[in-house]
Structure 1
Amino acid sequence: MIIKKLLIILFLIPFFVIAESPEIFKGEVLDITFEEDTIIPEINLETFVQDLKIKIIEDNNKEKIIDVKNDYIRLKKGDRVFVENTGNGTKEEGSFIIKEKDRTGPLFYFLIIFVSSIIFFGGMQGVRSVFSLFLSFVAIGYILIPAIMSGYSPVLISSAVATAILFIAIYFTHGFNRESTSAFLGTVISVIVTGFLSYVGVKMAQFTGMGTEEAFILSLHGGVSIDFSGLLLGGIIIGTLGVLDDVAVTQSIVVREIYKLQKDMKFSDVYKRALSVGKEHVGAMVNTLALAYTGASLPLILIFYKSEYPVSLILSQEIFSVEIMRTVVGSIGLIFSVPLTTAFAVYLLRSKI
């Protein structure tokens, strides 16, 4: 339980530094006194309504039982939920709504399975990998997010944090050696290329950074001055780190293994052989990038599919065109990382052999 609370504090609190402080507390569903399925005639949508008795389990009014009407998410007896008091601080009946179901339990359990799987398969390298991932989220939660919320340039901060994350992810996971150095150099240059292309793309397409619901909500919080187009650029930079790290480290290891098989192989021969592996890897990773963004945007794609607007207008919608730009720019950075990292690895590891 202590570990669970520490994880919540570490990863979630920094991301809500701008949130107001409504009265929200945790409760448990004791009973469902009424439940009815209904249909909204105007849109022919099936819905429901429930009358719940909920016991407060985390608040100054702990153990108090309240009545809540719920039409947000279908609940059952024993479910734990977050309840918001909408009654201006009073606790009168009818002043509560279901804010969200408590999902920290399943998230925590799957996190444990994830970490255990990495350590079981990777051994000590798996432990280092988990530690580097932990430090990466610390950098994002305690450096990147607060700095952006304080008004610093999202592009500069994202670039600096991206470099730090790459250093942590590569060196802490794979060790302080020439393979890691070649991967780090190739990835950093690729991040610079990606950042430059992102800047050009955002300026040419005149993205405002306000194309998503999240950005709109963020803009409503008073006292926060954020460059939203810069935030979009920073998001593209951070989003490409994972695949760049993957490809760069793989290329370095491929070069090392080629040298192990034949130490006196020419520079050009090693480069060509390693590059042929890299081409196959890039083909797979570009597909991965495109499908990842497509999967995340699937509900949006379905909305546009039912739309009667022309295709050119749909593609020009910022919420849609940003994802296309994100995929394309990320893929270009990925392509650049292969020859760069391979060249660094062939040079650095040759002198090692």
Structure 2
Amino acid sequence: MGLGHSHGHRAGGAPDLEVGRRSRVVVVVLLVLAAAVTVAGLVALWPGGDRPVLETAPEGSSYSEVTVTDVELLADSASGPVLLADDADGEQIMVQVAPEYLDVVEAGDRIRVLNLPVAEGVAAPYVFVDLVRGPPMALLAAVMGVLVLVVARLRGLGAIAGLVVSVGGVLWFTVPALVEGRPALPVALVTASALMFVLLYLAHGVSVRTSTALLGTLGGLVATAGLAAWATGATHLNFLGGEYAMDLRSLAPEADLRGILLCGIVLAGLGVLNDVTITQVSAVWELRAASPASTRRDLFRGGMRIGRDHIASTVYTVAFAYLGAALPLVILVAMSDRTLLDTLTSGEIAEEVVRTMVGSIGLVLAIPLTTAIAALLVPAAEPTASPASPEPSTPSAPGPVADPATP
């Protein structure tokens, strides 16, 4: 890894201070060891064989997209609510739809339907499956991508590339490995470590600063994974009440449902963990640039003052993120006659509570760890120059005396 030590400022205005040779060697050795362990884990845990496929369409049926032309017509059909739509050839077809979707679907909407084999007595061989959401989601993705590139420029491009790599890594390695029953804790650690190596250097460039943040992230990641492994076992979380538990048990009998939950907890905290470590390293570097004479202890204390503010805001950010994702479930459980304690410790609510607390503890531990690493690796304090003492003046030789008779 080319961890340079040039003076001046890097792209984005961040100071790139000169780091000692010993510090750079320590960083490189630690990261090489971490990378070697990660690669070995990838090789040992890499899934093999064919991945099971969940068949969603009955034999002889097919999916297609159609345009709704009329929602009210035939709504009281004997076979259930029916709407009219135009298929790809412009021919009008009848589509059976669940009653709860009648208020959602409007004329002109694109919907996805399942074309069932024609059976006697069936008025509409087409069954509503879902709304087509591709175009608006593609527009959102395009707007996000453009804004990230305009505001963050090259770093934004690196972040987008890292996001693509992350999704690909989870789909090609993590998911098949869990389906085949590979141990979840090593899978989670290897996945997160590999992604962090790629994401941080893509988004922030190769430097001692980025490598320092990576060390802090890996330390926080290990703490989060260990805590998640203990918490899922101690609280007896097993994912059995999940929406897709039955499908997973039938389709992937070798998969460990508790392990899948554990892996999800580790990966869920990865983004926030990365955020706090990058921020803390940048804070320490900026403090050193602003105060070259400060001791490492002073830098750590200053970094922790910033870190405490970060903790205060990030903890409830994590909590609200999980609360928002599970809001429908929270509403259903809150409407029951159970006490608050029973509600918080029941089934899927307990999963979200444990997920929130584990993620929060992981990032709280990562902040002092990363700050300490940054304070140790940042360039040493510059010696303060003592004020120069004035040199004694020596009497100058008298110059030639002018002749008073000279006019």
TM over 0.5: yes
State the match for 1:121 in structure 2: 151
Q: Which residue of 2 aligns with 1:147?
A: 177
Query: Number of paired residues?
Result: 322
Q: What's the secondary structure of 2:337's corresponding residue?
A: coil
Q: Which residue of 2 aligns with 1:291?
A: 320
Q: Given the alignment of the two structures, is residue 20 of structure 1 paired with residue 51 of structure 2, yes or no? A: no
* Aligned-residue RMSD, C-alpha: 2.4
Distance, in Å, in 2 between the alignment partners of 1:172 and 1:135 is: 10
Identity across aligned pairs (percent)? Answer: 26
- Corresponding residue to 1:306 among 314, 335, 344: 335
- Give the whole-Å Cα distance in 1 for the aligned partners of 2:66 and 2:105: 12
Q: Deviations over 1:159-188 (max 9, x none)?
A: 111111111221110011111111111111
Which of residues 164, 175, 188 is equivalent to 2:205? 175
User: CA-to-partner distance for each residue in 1:262-304, whole Å, 9 max, x for gaps?
Assistant: 2221010001001110110011000101111111122222222
2:370 equivalent among 337, 341, 349: 341
1:315 to 2:344 alignment:
yes
Greater percentage in helix:
1
Shift of the alpha carbon at 1:239? 0.2
Q: Unpaired segments of 5 or more residues in structure 1?
A: 1-15, 38-48
Any conservation in 2 of the 1:132–1:169 contact (CA below 8 Å)? yes
CA distance in 2: counterparts of 1:72 and 1:314, whole angstroms: 28
Q: 1:55 to 1:173 in 2, by over 3 A?
A: same
Aligned to 2:273: 244
Distance across 1 between alignment mates of 2:72 and 2:288: 72
Query: Which residue identity lines up with residue 369 of structure 2 in the other structure?
Result: L
AA aligned opposite 1:79: D
Residues 107-149 of structure 1 deviation map (CA, whole Å, 9 limit, x = unaligned):
1000001111111101111111111111111111222112222
TM-superposed CA distance for 1:75, in Å, is 2.0
Compared with structure 1, are the counterparts of its residues 149 and 56 closer, same or farther at alpha carbon in structure 2 (3 Å cutoff)? farther
- Structure index of larger Rg: 2
Which residue of structure 1 lines up, in the alignment, with residue 7 of structure 2? none
Cα 1:17–1:54 shift into 2, 3 Å:
farther
3-state SS of 2:114 partner = strand
For the 8 Å contact 1:72–1:98, the answer to whether it is kept is no
Asked if structure 2 preserves the Cα contact closer than 8 Å seen for 1:178 and 1:345, the reply is: no
Could you state the TM-score of these two structures normalised by the residue count of structure 1? 0.84
Gaps of at least 5 residues in structure 2 are 1-50, 383-407
Question: What letter is aligned with 2:64?
Answer: F
Which residue of the other structure, out of 216, 230, 235, is the alignment partner of 1:186? Answer: 216
2:114 aligns with 84
Q: Distance in 2 between matches of 1:111 and 1:81?
A: 21
Taking structure 2 as the reference length, the TM-score comes to 0.74
Residues in 2 aligned to 1:270 and 1:340: alpha-carbon distance in whole angstroms = 13
**Partner deviation per Cα, 1:309-328 (whole Å, 9 max, x = no partner):** 23333233121111111111
Please state if 1:66 is matched with 2:93: yes
Shift of 1:35: 6.1
Specify which of 275, 281, 285 is matched with residue 304 of structure 2.
Answer: 275
**Runs of 4+ that moved beyond 6 A:** none
Alignment-derived partner of residue 83 in structure 2: 52
Distance in 2 between the 1:157 and 1:198 partners? 13
Q: How far did 1:36 drift?
A: 5.2
Aligned partners of 2:86 and 2:184: how far apart in 1? 43
| Structure richer in strand, relative to its length | 1
